[in-house]
A and B are shown apart, each in its own frame.
Chain A
Amino acid sequence: MTRWFEDITIDEAFPLGSHAFTEAEIIRFGQLYDPQYFHVDPEAARHSHFGGLVASGWHTVTVGHRYMVDALFAEEERLRGLGQEPGVSGPSPGVNKMEFRAPVRPGDTVSYTLTVTGKRPSNSIPGWGILFNTIEAANQRGELVYHAELVGFSKLRDYEMPLRLRLLMALTRLPVLGKLLAPRNG
């Protein structure tokens, strides 16, 4: 999926891989970022409505993100192997929606799937396109673990920067002038 914006196909589902969650990693993530009793204490978790330890939703989501990044790198390698120059992915501006559904318990295996549902050139960043991505995660019983609607950036291959913009960018690289020309908020 590190493809050029122009080569990204809409509604094609990419399997990202599967991850088996252990009790130790669930507790470790919980202690670092989401130390609620049902994420860090198996004994106390029995009193929760989950009836036992469950992974923080944020844990399953960040693991899913890791699998997506690995898939992007793998696609990059594949394209290089074919003698093609891969595209460039950029940082994400945000997440429109994230729904945590079935809890993830120690021993569960979660499979992640990415689908690009829409794309358009960015209005604010010349040379980049915006991707609308859906990630769905399901457990070994096929139950939906989460549904996410994310936004990403991808570079345009066929973009040619207007001369005026190229001049402005060159000027902003000059130490003194650059500070005056650079937009205030990045």
Chain B
Amino acid sequence: MNPVTANRRHYEDLAVGEVVDLGTTTVSKEMIISFATEFDPFPFHLDEEAAKASLLGGLASSGWQTAAISLKMLADSFLNTIASMGGLGFSDLKWIKPVMVGDTIGGTATITALRRSRHHPERGIVTLDFDIRNHKREPVMTMRLANLIELRDPSAPLEAAE
């Protein structure tokens, strides 16, 4: 038994359809410039004038920052309450609308699938669909994330879990 995750929810405790409220985060100019300086130093993420002239139309966060902030909100509200074993990856990440200076983003992650790992049947895979919006309720980002989770009973027959 993993002492870190013993008292957290496991694979058997989750259900498809559960909606995780991610809360909200306000994205400041300082946050945008700090992240862009380290990871995405395109002029349209660093400089207001360059940003106005770009496809973004103004200083906007790196899409990777929008995703990283969404991930932080998921860790705080969900991943650190379950027996998470880390991410497998994601698919269909769409940056729908730029996140501009002063925007407040937030939203939900909904459990859309739960299954046992084919290669490691003692592990479960939880799939979460993100719906991230700005304070005007406009969609800014969607993605589908796959995360590994411990089984409470790793020896449970596969059929019982399906």
Chain A nearest CB, measured from B92 CB (Å): 7
Q: Are B89 and A146 in contact (CB under 8 A)?
A: yes
Chain A nearest CB, measured from B99 CB (Å): 11
Residues of B within 8 A of A (CB): 2-5, 38-42, 44, 54-57, 60, 63-64, 67-69, 71-72, 75-76, 79-80, 84-95, 97-98, 123, 138, 143
Q: Which residues of the other chain, B, contact A36 by a CB distance below 8 angstroms?
A: 75, 79-80, 84, 86
Contact of A33 (CB < 8 Å), options: B4, B72, B94? B72
Q: Given A48-B85, A58-B68, A61-B64, decide whether A125 and B41 contact each other with a Cβ distance below 8 A.
A: no
Q: Are B42 and A97 in contact (CB under 8 A)?
A: no
Q: Which residues of the other chain, B, contact A56 by a CB distance below 8 angstroms?
A: 71, 87
A91-B42, A186-B97 known; 4 new pairs, CB 8 Å cut-off, are A57-B86, A65-B64, A96-B91, A98-B89
Contact of A65 (CB < 8 Å), options: B39, B71, B88? B39
Q: Are A32 and B89 in contact (CB under 8 A)?
A: no
User: Chain B: interface secondary structure?
Assistant: mixed
Q: How large is the interface on A (under 10, 10 to 19, 20 to 34, 35 or more residues)?
A: 35 or more
Chain B nearest CB, measured from A146 CB (Å): 7
Chain B proximity mask over A155-185: 1 for CB below 8 Å, otherwise 0: 0000000000000000000000000000001
Interchain CA distance A38-B79 in the complex, whole Å: 12
Q: Are B68 and A92 in contact (CB under 8 A)?
A: no
User: Chain A: interface secondary structure?
Assistant: mixed
Q: Which residues of the other chain, B, contact A69 by a CB distance below 8 angstroms?
A: 40-42
Contact of A48 (CB < 8 Å), options: B2, B55, B57, B64? B2
Interchain CA distance A65-B91 in the complex, whole Å: 17
Interface residues of A in 71-89 (CB under 8 A from B): 89
- Of chain A, the residue at the smallest CB distance from B74 is A34
Q: Are A58 and B67 in contact (CB under 8 A)?
A: yes
A-B contact pairs, 21 of them (CB 8 A): A36-B86, A37-B80, A47-B2, A47-B4, A50-B86, A62-B68, A66-B38, A90-B54, A91-B54, A91-B60, A92-B95, A94-B93, A94-B95, A95-B90, A95-B93, A98-B90, A98-B93, A99-B89, A128-B55, A185-B138, A186-B57
